[in-house]
Amino acid sequence: MAAAYQTGISSSPTNLLQTLVSWLTTQGWTTDASTGDGSGWRAHLHKGSLYVNLRAAMNENIWPYNGDYHDVGAGGYGIGLYLGDGYDGGEAWHAQSGRPTRPGDGSTSGCGMNLPAGSVSAYHLFDDGNDNIIVVVERSPGVFCFVGWGPALADLGQPEDFPYFFGSSGAVLNTLDTDPGGDRGGINISAYPPMSHADQEVSSYTGSSDRGHATAFVRVDADTFDGRWVCNCEDPDDGYGYTGRLSRCSVNVGPALDAAIDVGEYPSFAGLENRVHQSAYAGALLLPIHTFVLTDPGGRWAPIGYPPQVFWTEAVGHGYAAGEVYQVGGDDYMLFPHFAVRKGA
């Protein structure tokens, strides 16, 4: 199908999810379910073999493990997301087949975007024509969050397709209902680029920040990790949303990949982060967000591709405004803080 775009204003997380479902059906997606669940809404859709599971939270905890590890994340608002390989109406929204799971207890790992209880400044729905979907929400004036998914990373020559999904918040902060006590991407400041940063919990007891909860997942078939989801959490621990294998990206390399590729002592400066604004370059510099997977624990990191619809940029604030459309080679890119989305020709 051709690339598609829609924008508007939603009145609640449920209204936004219902709007998204209606829009996806016009893009050829089949709705397996779209119905009330708890005080919110659940939706399950598929196109071909790609199944997406979505849940709007309305003052509730939508993930099965928020309360057992954490003191934040229950009783809030947002939309949760994960991919799978089928739909069963008899199972809970978070228990569909083919889902990412935590090795310790088998519960679902996922991500989403944190939202206000009521209206948002604007939403932006993108489909690149190849079923790569991204939803960007201006949750309050100048503050952006997102979710997205697709059937395959843009490949680097490998024959396999690597389905992926991402959010601006990990599952724990997906429904954060308290003041985070600091800057949290996608909540009180604009989100970091898709696929890039693990989410940080802020304890309501101590006010300290710890843990790096997974916000990006890629399904990788490897000799030592067949048909499983890798994730970008900081450490291999269930409480972080760990799925059994780690991933990293070129924007925010992180300590493990930093050491593996020997780029220096300070991982926050190891990737593209803070390096892509070129004062001598008059245009908006758009760079792919390359993803790496740990092929064996303690072994090498292998590049597996990049999400084909989103690009890292620091254009906003350097001569460009959020929501501005920038054209390169006949394609339109919509600019947001820290990233751009290919809108189509």
Given a contact cutoff of 8 angstroms between Cβ atoms, the answer to whether 61 and 72 are in contact is no
State the pLDDT at residue 269: 33
Q: Centre a 10 Å sphere on the Cβ of residue 265 and count the other Cβ atoms it contains.
A: 9
Of 109, 115, 99, nearest to 69 by C-alpha is: 109
User: In this structure, is the dihedral angle defined by the CA atoms of residues 232, 236, 240 and 243, taken in order, positive or negative?
Assistant: positive
Residues with pLDDT less than 50, the chain? 67-69, 71, 203-209, 255-271
At residue 113, the pLDDT reads 97
Q: CB-based burial of residue 260 (10 Å sphere; 0-12 exposed, 13-18 middle, 19+ buried)?
A: middle
pLDDT on residue 252:
64
Count Cβ atoms within 10 A of the Cβ of residue 221 and give its class: 0-12 exposed, 13-18 middle, 19 or more buried.
Answer: exposed
pLDDT at 329: 86
Quick check: 231 and 214 in contact, CB under 8 A?
Answer: yes
pLDDT at 261: 40
- Which residues are paired to 209 by β-bridges? 202
Q: In whole angstroms, what is the distance from residue 114 CA to residue 123 CA?
A: 13
Q: Is 25 helix (H, G, I), strand (E, B) or coil?
A: helix
Provide CB contacts within 8 A for 144, sequence distance 6+.
136, 137, 138, 168, 186, 190, 191, 322, 336, 337
Distance, CA of 248 to CA of 250 (rounded, Å): 7
* DSSP annotation of 177: -
Least Cα distance to 195 among 160, 231, 221 occurs for 231
Token digits for 320?
């460009």
Q: Cα(229)–Cα(93) distance, rounded to whole angstroms?
A: 18
What is the predicted pLDDT for the residue at 255?
Answer: 47
Helices (H), the chain: 13-26, 66-69, 171-174, 255-261
